[in-house]
Amino acid sequence: MKRIGILTSGGDAPGMNAAIRAVTKTAIHHGIEVFGIRYGFAGLVVGDFVPLTEADVDHTINHGGTFLYSARFPEFEQKEVQEKGAAQLRKHGIETVIVIGGDGSYHGALALTRLGINSVGLPGTIDNDIPYTDYTIGYDSACRTGMDAIDKIRDTASSHHRVFIVNVMGRECGDIAMRVGLASGADAIAIPERPYNIKEIAETLKRGFANGKDNGIVVVAEGVMNANDFKNELLKYGDFDARANILGHMQRGGAPTVVDRVNATKMGNYAVKLLLNGKGGLAVGIENGKLSTHDILDLFDGKHQSDYALLNINDEMTK
């Protein structure tokens, strides 16, 4: 193996640059040239490749986003488009690829492996919804951003005896909502995977105010309901001074946490070593604190195991 490519695909996540850095530095250490593929699979198909040196990645570990840029490219599901991408790689002498992204990105990595380009996937998504890994790259940073925002929101909520409904990201996975809600002392947490009762949430808030609380915080995953709609439903069961706040894409930005920097570095380093050993079609994860690999095909059949104990703990302390 003389040349390796690396790309980021789908939504950006803090820690992606740390992973790119780890891949680049590890590969160069082993005498391998590294090429960054800009704009994900869209850039792959048109041959938007740039050589990466140690100097290019030296000061990237603390930066959010991805300096290789990202793009959604559903056209890569087509066999003829996949073949164009593989042809571009062969044209440039790139024998292996590391793909950082979510579920759709893994489909692309598997397609390349089947076309003879060994590829390894790294879990890069703030939603933490990838099977067989306890943490995805960006999840911890997104949670920190959400917690910091709610800490600030609570200051104004307390000043005015208000209830704030706060939307955090997570269309189909409530991991961010559960972790941020518990860490910020939310009165209630609503996630898409578990049933919730707005009337009961209203009663919890009423009880809190009756017991001397001067504010209320409800954390709602975006896959449950828009914060404004949730607020309107809540007001049917209580005369609250309520506001809605949607954190949105700010959760994807900012410097990655220590957890994300270290996890991304470990996974990037490991991915290069897998390719050096001729292995492809694999997804790297961290399970019980240790690096692990699974066939990418297993991920399509598997289901991410959320820690619903966080929700149960919060319910026990607030109801």
- Are 244 and 153 in contact, with CB atoms under 8 Å apart? no
Catalytic residue among 12, 127, 140, 187: 127
Secondary structure (DSSP) of 11-72: S--TTHHHHHHHHHHHHHHTT-EEEEETTHHHHHHHT-EEEE-HHHHTT-TT--S-TT----
**Burial (CB count within 10 angstroms: exposed 0-12, middle 13-18, buried 19+), residue 3:** middle
Structure tokens of 139? 């999840």
Residue 316: how many CB atoms within 10 A of its CB? 8
Spatial CB neighbours of 73, under 8 Å, sequence gap ≥ 6: 9, 40, 41, 42, 45
Of 69, 247, 116, 99, the C-alpha closest to 169 is 247
Strand residue runs (E) in 154-298: 163-168, 188-190, 216-221, 242-246, 282-287, 290-295
Residues paired with residue 33 on neighbouring β-strands, in sequence order: 3
127 is known as an active-site residue: yes
Token pair in block for residue 262: 């270290």
Q: How far apart are CA 291 and CA 24, in angstroms?
A: 19
Residues that are catalytic:
127
